[in-house]
Each structure stands twice: as C-alpha cells, then as structure tokens.
Amino acid sequence: MERIPILRMGGLLLVTIQVDMHDRLAMTLQDDLTERIVRDRAKGVLIDISALDLVDSFIGRMISNTAAMARVLDAQTVVVGMQPAVAITLVELGLTLHGVKTALNVEKGMALLGKTNF
C-alpha cells in the first residue's frame, strides 16, 4: 500500500497508523493530510496509534511535525490509543509531544475536539 487513508467524519479527519512508517510514507501522509485539512476545512485531526507497539524517534518527530502543520492550518491534533509502552518510550526518547493533545480512544478524542465540530 502506498498511502495511509484519511477518513473524514464531519469536521474531523481520522488517520489510523497501522504500518511501520518509513520516510516516504510519512512524507506522503503529511502531504495528504495538510491538503485534506485545507480541502475539507477540517478543524480537527485524530491520529490513532493503538496498533503501534513501539515507536522510534522518527515516528515521534513525524507525529509532532504533523500536529505542528495542522496547527498552522488552524486544526487541532489529538493522538489517541497510545499504548503504555509507547508513552514510556516517547518520554525516554525525550519526545514529550509538546503541544499535541492525547486521548485514550477515538471517542474521547472526538469529545476533546468538541462535539460541535463533528
């Protein structure tokens, strides 16, 4: 598969990361997502990482960068479904996802982004 699908739900975009990210896939996701935020006038982005058992600094930076890009396009990003081991690794790597909101699952993430957006 070449791309990670971006699903639109009302004013929100949902991305589920299931595969190991490599450079090109991450770049494609960032391109696609920024384009979709503008095209769909999205106010929020949910990134589900519940399928990730582990993260490295590349993924951590990719999430931070994606959130920063969304923010300058006036969309809030919420990372949902983080596994405990991933949280531990991120902090150990010094990646505290500054400025990125997190929620336990998609439902709570949608609530955080405000039901009015949905």
Chain residues that interact with a second copy, rule: CB under 8 A: 1-5, 7-10, 14, 16, 18-20, 48, 50-53, 81, 105-107, 110
CB 31 within 8 A of CB 4: no
Taking alpha carbons only, the member of 85, 78, 70, 77 closest to residue 103 is 78
CB of 12 to a second copy, least distance (A): 10
Whichever of 96 and 107 has its CB closer to a second copy, that residue is 107
CB of 72 to a second copy, least distance (A): 26
CB of 108 to a second copy, least distance (A): 10
Q: DSSP states of the chain as a string?
A: -----EEEETTEEEEE--S---HHHHHHHHHHHHHHHHHTT-SEEEEE-TT-S---HHHHHHHHHHHHHHHHTT-EEEEE---HHHHHHHHHTT---TT-EEESSHHHHHHHT-GGG-
CB of 25 to a second copy, least distance (A): 11
Whichever of 25 and 68 has its CB closer to a second copy, that residue is 25
Whichever of 5 and 114 has its CB closer to a second copy, that residue is 5
Whichever of 7 and 91 has its CB closer to a second copy, that residue is 7
